[in-house]
Amino acid sequence: MSEPFEPKIVAFVCTYCTYAGADLAGTSRMKYASNVRIVRLPCTGRISPMFILKALQKGADGVLVSGCHPGDCHFAQGNYHARRRWTVFRALLAFTGIPEQRIRFSWISAAEGAKFAELINTLTEDIRKLGPFEQYHELQKVIETQSTY
């Protein structure tokens, strides 16, 4: 029996809410899947769609983007702007065939350590079921080989 597939997941989170939520999960000794790599940013408004593309390019099987609930943004409006951007970017990715299940968005406050842990676990399981994002990673593998013609 081969090893179960361990997905690589990159989480882009805002420092004020979701990162603090992840911190709370940790200090509360909640256990969650170790498949996630957290990248902390000042605000969801700072999370450029380029980050998501870069994560996929570098081999991520799934991406989570998360920040403060609407109304709770440290910078008042950052997450509202981000939300519009996500709506559009998500539609674009879906249209080009990048499965919606692999790119997820959430609101997690500093108090929601349990929600964070649970979400990471669900997400990891969902992506484990989908399997590695071979279609995309294949594009990178091709680059690393010799020319065929």
Partner 1 sequence: MSRILLKNKLDDCIAAWRSAGFSVLAPVRRSDLSRFDEVERSTDMALDLVLPERTIKDHFFPQTEPLIKYKIKKHDIDSQEMLPPDMKRVFFGVRPCDASGLAIDDPLFGWDYKDEYWFKRRDNAVIVTIACTASDDFCMCTSVKLDPDSTKGSDVMLRPLQNGNGWQVEALTDRGNALLGPVASFLQEGSEAPAPVASVPVRFDVDRVMEWLADPASFESHFWKEISLRCIGCGSCTFLCPTCHCFDIQDEGDTFSGIRRKNWDSCSFAMFTMHTSGHNPRNTQSTRWRQRIMHKFNYYRGKFGVNSCSGCGRCTRQCPVDMGITETLQAITNLPK
Partner 2 sequence: MGIQEQYISEAAGLLASGAVKLVIGYCEGSTPDRRRPVFVRTPAEAERLMLDGACVANLSTYLITEGLLSDGKSVAVFLKPDGIRSINILAAEAQINPEQVVIFGFDIENGQARTLAGRKASDFTSVVEAAKAAGLSADLQKESERLVQMSAEERFEYWKEQFSKCIKCYACRQVCPMCYCRRCIVDVNQPQWVNTSSHTLGNFEWNIVRAFHLAGRCVACGGCDRSCPVNIPLRLINHRMAKEVLDAFDYYAGESTDQKPVLATFRQDDPETFIL
Give residues in contact with partner 1 (CB under 8 A). 143-149
Tell me which of partner 1, partner 2, none is bound by residue 27, counting a contact when its beta carbon lies within the kind-specific cut-off of 5 to 8 angstroms.
none
Residue number, 95 or 149, with CB nearest to partner 1: 149
Q: Are the C-beta atoms of residues 9 and 35 closer than 8 Å to each other?
A: yes
Q: Which residue from 100, 111, 125, 129 is in contact with partner 2, where contact means CB under 8 A?
A: 100
Judge residue 26's burial from the number of C-beta atoms within 10 Å of its C-beta, 0-12 exposed, 13-18 middle, 19 or more buried.
middle
Q: CA–CA separation, 128 vs 148, rounded Å?
A: 33
Q: Are the C-beta atoms of residues 57 and 141 closer than 8 Å to each other?
A: no
Looking up tokens 């380029």 gives: 50
x/- mask, partner 2, residues 112-131, rule CB under 8 A, reads: -------x------------
Give the rounded distance of the alpha carbon of 32 from its chain centre: 15
Tell me which of partner 1, partner 2, none is bound by residue 144, counting a contact when its beta carbon lies within the kind-specific cut-off of 5 to 8 angstroms.
partner 1
Q: Which residue from 6, 40, 75, 80 is in contact with partner 2, where contact means CB under 8 A?
A: 80
C-alpha torsion sign, points 29, 34, 36, 37: positive
Q: What residues make contact with partner 2 under the rule CB under 8 A? A: 48-50, 53-54, 57, 70-71, 77, 80-81, 83-100, 104-107, 119, 135-136, 139-140, 142-143
